[in-house]
Amino acid sequence: MPRPASIHVCSACGHASARWAGRCPACGEWNSLVEQTQDPRPAPRARGAAARVAAPVKPVALRDVAAIEQRRLGTGIGELDSVLGGGIVPGSLVLIGGSPGIGKSTLTTMVLANLHEAGRRTLYVSAEESAAQIRLRAARLRAGALGIPVIAETDLHTVLATLERERPEVCVIDSVQTLHSGELSSVAGSVAQVREVAGQLMELAKAMRIAVLLVGHVTKDGTLAGPRVLEHLVDCVLQFEGERERTYRTVRAIKNRFGSTNEAGVFEMRDDGLVEVLDASARFLGEATRAPGSVVLCAIEGSRPLLVEIQALVSSSELVPPRRVASGFDRNRLALVLAVLGRHAGIGAGTSDVFVNVVGGVRVEEPGADLAVALAVVSAVRGVAPGGTDGQPLACFGELGLTGELRSVAHGDRRLAEAAKFGLGPVVEPGAHGTLRAALAHTFGTRQHALAA
């Protein structure tokens, strides 16, 4: 009997290689090849003419396909329902990823508690914690959470058998990386195990119309752990973002087959669980410092406007090269903004340390934050607060071009309306100022003309 052969599988893309390598030849990831055993016995071949020749299938026009009405299940959490596109679709797989301690288990427990109180059949499958640990968290959240049925099990086939018997409408698997199938010799969390676990859960969920919420781990880079096929397999991927030291959390839809990916929900972590932040702009604007180096960005989170404060600090450095630190903002984008400031506005920071922070733990990834970062840096360099009218902080948005022009960004009318709602104006934006020099001259007056001379 031949011995099981050893292969190396990439944990990022699933590519199989006969030998180990420091870098995956398929996707280019470093140190992602994991050794696994492979049974060298060939798979049994089908016999007979029927096995060799498959029967053709007649195509059907889409107009003749019967439409299925998707009746969603409301989670009782408005922000989450908005991100999901109106609620949970029966039979769907939703993958929720986030760093440890961010609140994934808290959010899923609150969802099951609301559904259980609404008379829905629920089930909580924990492969990481005991039932006693889950009870402690449920008692801290709310009294209704204590009625959630729960099992603490790591064996996949036991979980599948329980789902077939209980037939819940919504089930939480915490987490998909800790379940394992006894049919595979690899350890839990490996590429083969995660693929097998997710595949069998998907088959059962689709067949029995069970909505499954999968809690997933993330890598040190913040991406979802496991093979990329896991994200392609599920119907919806939610990214839970935020800093453990801060109270605000953001839920974004990276993928959604039943809704838009342009939505984001904002929560605040408290002692009794996550609380929806219905007016996040008022929270962030109330904490604005109105000091030199501080401006307000009219950002867009999904499809709704959000006012956040951006702070900058510029100080002389003894390091070569000086530091460029960005929190909540892309560091490469910061380097681009500093280069445009030096070339087209005469403001050089080549010998200074530059620190940029998006206050509140919010991460801004849109290009419309370029102008806000530029104005905050100039304000920090000059030591002048770029205040608006009536002592209000300055609000702005816009994308910087490499030639110094200001480019328009999406949903400009919504950004202006949100700023006007809180009495901020006039807003520095591409429609009123076509270039970076014009925006700086309007914000800092004659001081900017002297600086650029």
* 112 close to 172: Cβ distance less than 8 angstroms: yes
pLDDT digits (tens, 9 = 90+) for 92-129: 999 999 888 889 999 999 999 999 999 999 999 999 99
Q: Which residue has the higher pLDDT, 446 or 145?
A: 145
Q: Work out the average pLDDT over 420-438.
A: 91
The residues pairing with 428 across neighbouring beta strands, listed in sequence order, are 396
b/e map of 68-100 (b: 16 or more CB within 10 Å)? Answer: eeeebbbbebebbbbbbbebbbbbbbbbbbbbe
Using alpha carbons, list the distances in angstroms from residue 377 to 335, 345, 347. 12, 12, 9
The alpha carbon torsion through 265, 177, 88, 104 (nearest 10 deg) reads: -30
**Is it the case that residue 46 has pLDDT exceeding 60?**
no
Structure tokens at 277: 């932040």
pLDDT digits (tens, 9 = 90+) for 206-244: 999 999 999 998 877 667 776 677 888 999 999 988 877
Return the CATH class of domain 78-278. Answer: alpha beta
Could you tell me the end-to-end alpha-carbon distance of the chain, in angstroms, rounded to an integer?
A: 83
CA-to-CA distance for 339 and 14, rounded, in angstroms? 40
Concatenating the DSSP letter of every residue in 193-211 gives HHHHHHHHHHHHHHHHT-E
Amino acid sitting at position 121: R
**Is it the case that residue 33 has pLDDT exceeding 60?**
yes
Q: Work out the average pLDDT over 301-312.
A: 89
**Sequence-ordered strand ranges (E) for 264-401:** 264-270, 273-276, 294-301, 304-316, 324-327, 352-358, 395-396, 399-400
Is cis: bond before 126, omega within 30 of 0?
Answer: no
Q: What is the pLDDT of residue 445?
A: 76
**Is it the case that residue 312 has pLDDT exceeding 80?**
yes
**Is it the case that residue 161 has pLDDT exceeding 80?**
yes
**Is it the case that residue 405 has pLDDT exceeding 90?**
yes
* 172 close to 124: Cβ distance less than 8 angstroms: yes
The residues pairing with 213 across neighbouring beta strands, listed in sequence order, are 94, 172
Best CA proximity match to 251, nearest among 164, 259, 261, 298:
261
Strand, coil or helix: what is 121? coil
Name the band, by pLDDT with cuts 50, 70 and 90, for residue 449. Answer: very low
Q: Please, what is the average pLDDT of the chain?
A: 86
DSSP element (H, E) containing 132? helix 131-141
**Is it the case that residue 429 has pLDDT exceeding 90?**
yes
Structure tokens at 367: 């290009």
Tell me how long the chain is.
453
CA-to-CA distance for 94 and 234, rounded, in angstroms? 6
pLDDT digits (tens, 9 = 90+) for 184-212: 877 888 888 888 999 999 999 999 999 99
Domain map (residue ranges) of the chain:
1-39, 78-278, 282-452
Structure tokens at 172: 């939480």
CA 370 to chain CA centroid, nearest Å: 21
**Is it the case that residue 385 has pLDDT exceeding 80?**
yes
State the helix-helix crossing angle for 131-141 and 104-117, rounded to 10 degrees. Answer: 70
In the CATH scheme, what is the code of domain 282-452? 3.30.230.10
Strand, coil or helix: what is 405? strand
Q: What percent of the chain is predicted at pLDDT more than 90? A: 50
Q: What is the pLDDT of residue 396?
A: 95
Q: What is the pLDDT of residue 30?
A: 84
Using alpha carbons, list the distances in angstroms from residue 375 to 68, 165, 192, 338, 404. 51, 61, 50, 11, 13
